[in-house]
Amino acid sequence: MRVYLDNAATTPLDPEVFEAMKPFMLEDFGNPSSTHAHGRKVRSAIESARKKVAELLNCTPGEIIFTSGGTEADNAIIRSAVATYDIKHIISSPIEHHAVTHTVEHLAKQGAVKLHMVNLDEKGHADITHLEALLAKHPGALVSLMHANNEIGNLLNLQQVGGLCATHNAFLHSDTVQTMGHYKHDMKVLHVCGMTAAAHKFHGPKGIGFMYIRKDRKIHSFIHGGAQERNMRGGTENVYGIIGLAKALEIAYREMDDHISYIKGLKARMIQKLTEQIPGVTFNGDSANLEKSLYTVLNVSLPESDESDMLLFNLDLQGISASGGSACSSGATTGSHVLGALYPESKRGAVRFSFSKYNKPEEIDFAVHKLAELFKVEAGL
């Protein structure tokens, strides 16, 4: 039996998405910038996809810019907003995705901005009182805080933070890669200037994402060389990726209520069984709180043992695919910067299990059973 529990890293492609993409892989191959019939047909499909995404997010099509994924979108929004609005201060947190932390740290090292980190509570939630104090001291700053942490699943009250940023004329950017397609985002309600998404996190294809840029907070173009994507991103569009992204988001919104209930049930099942079968197990951040965390992510620490470093390897040998943190740095020898920020003294290994609509209860039971067996062997029980 092979069980995939690393859906925060990437999700399987929905067959319905593949069927929507196929014609643009095999038949409708025209360049969307061409003015002949082949090109016009593809251009129309791209704009229909953009319109669909905008409808789902309750915004205008002009506010959606397709990118290669979340990392490009995060970089583009942060760098271009700083340049466009001559921003001198960035407020972020130490547990953002590296697409954000490395970008803001690089800008700070260049001397382009001063970087301020918002305090975190013991569970890893941003201290809103401290954020408000930073905003009052640095009005007009760029704030970059993710909606849900990709490792521990902590959720940010985006509407509350957006309200604070609007009060202090701050440019709010939020990495929503982990929540797009898993929660509904109403851009008429949220005071967010820029958001990001990656299709492969909600059963779409890899190599395609988008950024939302609010129409009254437009930023300068970031890839030059063509007029594609509203003159924002030069280069021939990833046509079948765009088609797949729109279809995947459409399916996600259509099935969201059922999926939230089902996947949250899988997560609750794993929490219960881990607690019952492995004495001393703990859950990192607020990932075990079903109301305050992303329902697709559970971050687990086992009692310390000499074999903790081999835990993911041993799980893989047992047929279980999981992660120790962000997939973007899973090959690195350094530990998780998220868990390091929250638990600097801890030596316990951590496993991130993440779920999708394709997981089954028996897979959860199998994974917990194998994990309990491994722990008993490591502990000499």
Q: Given its phi and psi angles, is residue 371 left (phi above 0), alpha (psi -120 to 50 degrees) or beta?
A: alpha
- How far from chain centre, in Å, is Cα 309? 26
- Tell me, what's the pLDDT at 155? 97
Q: Return residue ranges of the chain for CATH 3.90.1150.10.
A: 3-10+256-379
Q: Return residue ranges of the chain for CATH 3.40.640.10.
A: 15-251
Q: For residue 23, what are its two tokens?
A: 């014609």
φ, ψ at 117 (rounded to 5°): -105, 125
Q: For residue 222, what are its two tokens?
A: 């970031």
C-alpha span between 274 and 279 (Å, rounded): 8
Confidence (pTM): 0.94
Pick the catalytic residue from 59, 165, 193, 328. Answer: 328
CATH architecture of 3-10+256-379: Alpha-Beta Complex (3.90)
Q: E strand or H helix at 65, and its extent?
A: strand 64-67
Write out residues in the chain with pLDDT < 50, as ranges. Answer: 331-333, 379-381
Q: Is 193 a catalytic residue?
A: no
- Tell me, what's the pLDDT at 331? 47
pLDDT tens digit sequence for 251-302: 999 999 999 999 999 999 999 999 999 999 999 999 999 999 999 999 999 8
CATH topology of domain 15-251: Aspartate Aminotransferase; domain 2 (3.40.640)
- Tell me, what's the pLDDT at 299? 96
- Tell me, what's the pLDDT at 47? 98
- Tell me, what's the pLDDT at 37? 96
